[in-house]
Structure 1
């Protein structure tokens, strides 16, 4: 537990700063008897003493030590903040999740109750309720603030939980027979952790400020020592008129520091639990070693040149290296297929190479050059200029990128307008040309996304990727969600467009049979590495790597006798661990103990344009480079 907290603070400087500040304030409260020998209510000193000596903040007109009041007042102030925050957050979370999960009349009743509390003015409600509970001490203040501060948190949590309630994983849990409590606490609640934390910290700060406001107005229990009652007595005794500004400044600064600590910890929790909140507008983080200069000097040969690229994800448990020292070239006008089973690093490679790998994803090392331009060196603004004009992307299930409330025409225009094309006639002419290229009618430009089929929406996404005539289009399993007939139609159209426009295509899929027919060249990935690369027909006729042969044999022939097909036994190794040996060793039917489990095979050319990383074809051993930890 302590190790996880340490990693959290190390990953988030904001959380570390906020946690340190909050810890200092808590220690100030807990160590009050050590920090001062005086009682905060003892009237044993001279009035209006100046700060200094045994009285760091001076004394009140009644002879009370202000430093003692500050450190002891922190106790009740923090108690009010934390307790009221916890109670109000618990109420808001329970009501918000109940409304979202149960729906119907439960949802309506909770929604009405929440709206009533939101409509009622907060401060007057606090004042009236406090007046009735006056004399109840600090706990009456906590009760009042808790009962008036839960509504905003409940409203926000209900809205987010309603979205979660209709997610597939929640529906699957319900369909499998899980009880409501299990679905709410195990399936939904963890996804709302960041939001609940934000609700707690904002409510805790609201509680501290509310107590200070009530005390300042003289409505709270001013016989107690809190930062709020210090402000009350300061204004009641005319501290500023006497020049004793520190009497006001000290508790005010304490409240400000507490609010800052809550905000920083909240930001840190957001950064750790949902890194996209902080990094969504930034380009992929790049951490590269000194080998970069050596790579740059070697020069690039293809349209896109990927050299020794290593990428993955920084997690609290350590780095996950989903792409490991991959080198690939894409020639002008080429159709390059990238195949491998799910989880082998294909999509990570595509997103890392195109600088779209969101946090916590990072590039650890290597180069990606597009006609000599190092994409990993570009600043976000420069990258935005290059992206879509010189290369574009079609994402997996990319039909979901269409905005449901905008007509298709406006969405096709967007990329062109972002790159300086604003003439309406040119936009319309280009949109019609693109739709003709991908086999759609001009009338479909005026449709909303819900009026199009899945295959039509996929064609729209491809048309948008071609809008600015890029030299390269990266397609990450763009037809996975479609039936096989539509898949084949779209692939044929993609290939026809590629030949007509002379563009290059990198097509990523786990379906090797699709690539053999369409691709000029195929690269096979396994456990983050390219294990074999060859022209498509050569690879189909004579696959060399045992993994490639297993992939090829997993697909049945369209004719001939019926045969039993088997998958590949076992599972890929964890990409969170180092793999100084052949990653396919545990699943390989041709493995050589003492060799394959000791060294990693180097990728060597066994025939013209045909390379493979396997000791069955070459004894060459790959030299492993040292990895950066973060």
Structure 2
């Protein structure tokens, strides 16, 4: 019940569909209160026009059309929902069984599904109904359910196959869970939105099928449904008699019911698949009236290449907004290697995705600017952003070797980015592809390979080559070597640094391996709870980290020389980013905290040395002056 209310709150279309469906349900349930007449009573004059005691007039047999409409809603809704539930249950069972068990089971179910899909729907319904004629409304429900399940089964099978190969399902199987438990506890909840959408789609199919069969005179036309109303209106020549309302009333009812089902279906899709709400790949930026501002071209050289100004971003959830990035200001100079470090969940990736407009729904940018040269990326239209992305900046994701299309050769995938930005000459594409492979340490022969023929490290090099294809000024790398072994990691990082120096590009490298950044970076920014708490040149940070969090991070890595020491993690855990943090976010875990100060106020970032800033009261001049005055 609570899930249904949450759906209505989060989706206006679902709310509109739910309200319309509720109105139709009330029409059916309250039929005896809405009319005193029986829908089958033939006690009135024939062809009475609408008005007075008969809002929709009467039939040629003296039956009240309004009574038929409200009572007909009962059987129509019963057929729709019951056939929808039965067909969805069959389709779900078939689809999940085929996906989970595979092999012979999958083959048999696929054959049966394909047979039903190949057979024409309406003729199959007519033939099946003819064999079950005389069985009443339940025979109609059975016929529709038995012919309406294959579509849902096919969609569910394809989604369940992808789910079947997920790590958490493999882990459940490896721990010895029974197939029934894996299907019902691990897979089914993840398919709930798709199953619900299938239910409403099948219910709509059932309503339309019943109306079609009744209109053709198949089934029990003595029952009162919206479909049989259309049959009798056609049979008695209602339109020839000018009684168009006899046709319009049930037709409008079916149309409204179909609209209600469709709106609820769209709402389920919006909530279970938030990307549907925002179809463009550009990050949703809250606030209206943003305008791209430009700087004078001659002043651009003096500007940082990437300039983040008070950037705040996060995620919109049913429980409220989660601010994963909180007022971050950060600059990257041309040709600079900036390292971004911190624990998992501190906002590193969210910051990178928000700044580059790749934060997908339900992710949003709450405020701030992300300027690349003279352009504010957050103010660009999706079309403007498409022209800038990959040409002026590119990205390499964590385990991004998985984005390679398994059925296309590497050469074709390397060409794609260049062709999308106007490089059409085959000779230029080939020459650039060979040059890029030489840059990242791959052989020219590998251009002809499929992704499965390459190792993990080679695929990651391919992705880095694609990111460098148009020589962007900035490349953002989000833990690009995490899935690789340490030897390959080092090789790739050395190649990245060599390419950077050769091409003069800037790199933002995200990781929680601080020891790696100390070796590779020109400058390092440390993030905690969505904020940058310390920023300094790499060597200076190594020689004298100032923030207690940075010192704790560095102490977690063992030294290569000297006596063996026991290393410990940082006790406690970061604060929830779903709440406002009006004090130092590291207070609860800080060994140097000052109660009454650190838990009452938020420290500002202060410069403790040239290009070295830290957000900590231990280094705040104002606090030191207050303490000196107190002494």
Paired residue for 1:483? 485
1:607 aligns with 2:609: yes
Pairs within 5 Å for 1:228-307: 228-288=227-287, 301-307=303-309
Decide which moves more: 161-170 or 28-37. Answer: 28-37
Once the two structures are TM-superposed, the CA of residue 280 in structure 1 deviates from its matched residue by 4.0
Cα gap change, 1:45/1:291 in structure 2, threshold over 3 Å: closer, same or farther?
A: closer
Residue 449 of structure 2 aligns with which residue? 447
Structure 1 residue 224 corresponds to structure 2 residue 226: no
Moved over 3 A (4+): 4-7, 288-301
Name whichever of 517-526 and 596-605 sits farther off: 596-605
Root-mean-square deviation over aligned CA pairs = 2.1
Say which of 534, 542, 545 aligns to 1:543: 545
Shift of 1:289: 7.9
- SS of structure 1 residue aligned to 2:156: helix
Q: Aligned residue for 1:591?
A: 593
CA distance in 2, matches of 1:290, 1:577: 28
Name the counterpart of 2:387.
Answer: 385
CA distance in 2, matches of 1:6, 1:415: 44
- Say if 2:293 and 2:376, in contact at 8 Å, map to a contact too: no
Alignment of 1:167-566 (within 5 A): 167-288=166-287, 301-566=303-568
Task: Confirm or deny: 8 A CA contact 2:295 2:374 kept in the other structure.
Answer: no
Confirm or deny: 8 A CA contact 2:17 2:262 kept in the other structure.
yes
| Equivalent-residue separation in structure 1 for 2:293 and 2:599 (angstroms) | 31
Structure 2 counterpart of 1:624: none
Measured in 2, the distance between the counterparts of 1:620 and 1:278 equals 48
Partner Cα distance (1:151, 1:440) in 2: 47
Mapped contact 1:385–1:419 kept (Cα < 8 A) = yes
- Separation (CA, whole Å) in 2 of partners of 1:116 and 1:385: 47
Larger deviation, residues 111-120 vs 399-408:
111-120
Using the size of structure 2 for normalisation, the TM-score is 0.95
CA contact (8 A) 1:308 1:367 kept: yes
Query: Gaps (5+ residues) in structure 1?
Result: 622-630
Partner-residue secondary structure (3-state), 2:475? strand
CA distance in 2, matches of 1:294, 1:333: 24
Contact 2:556 2:568 in 1 (8 A): yes
- The SS at the match of 1:362 is strand
Secondary structure of 1:263's aligned partner: helix
Label 1:116 to 1:67 Cα distance change in 2 as closer, same or farther (>3 A): same
Q: CA deviation at 1:334?
A: 0.7
Task: Report the secondary structure of 1:61's partner residue.
Answer: coil
Aligned equivalents of 1:428, 1:356: Cα separation in 2: 29
Deviations along 1:224-272, whole A, 9 cap, x unmatched?
A: 1100000010011011111111211111121112112111111111110
Q: Measured at CA, do residues 296 and 529 of structure 1 come closer, stay the same or move farther in structure 2, by a change above 3 Å?
A: farther
Return 427-436 or 124-133, whichever deviates more: 124-133
Deviations 1:1-55 (A, max 9, x none): 44x5444323222212222221221122122222222221122222111222332
> Do the aligned partners of residues 295 and 325 (structure 1) sit closer, same or farther apart at CA in structure 2, a change above 3 Å counting?
farther
- Give me the whole-angstrom Cα distance separating, in 2, the residues matched to 1:331 and 1:76: 71
Q: Which residue of 1 aligns with 2:627?
A: none
Question: Which of 20-29 and 307-316 deviates more?
Answer: 20-29
Shift of 1:84: 0.6
Runs of 5+ consecutive residues of structure 2 not aligned to the other structure: 624-631
Of 564, 578, 583, which residue of structure 2 is paired with 1:576?
Answer: 578
Kindly state the Cα deviation for residue 134 of structure 1 after the two structures are TM-superposed: 2.4
Tell me how many residue pairs correspond in the alignment: 620
Q: Is the 8 A contact 2:292 2:376 kept in 1?
A: no
- Name the SS for the 1:616 alignment partner: helix
SS at match of 2:210: helix
Residue equivalent to 2:138: 139
Partner Cα distance (2:166, 2:550) in 1 = 36
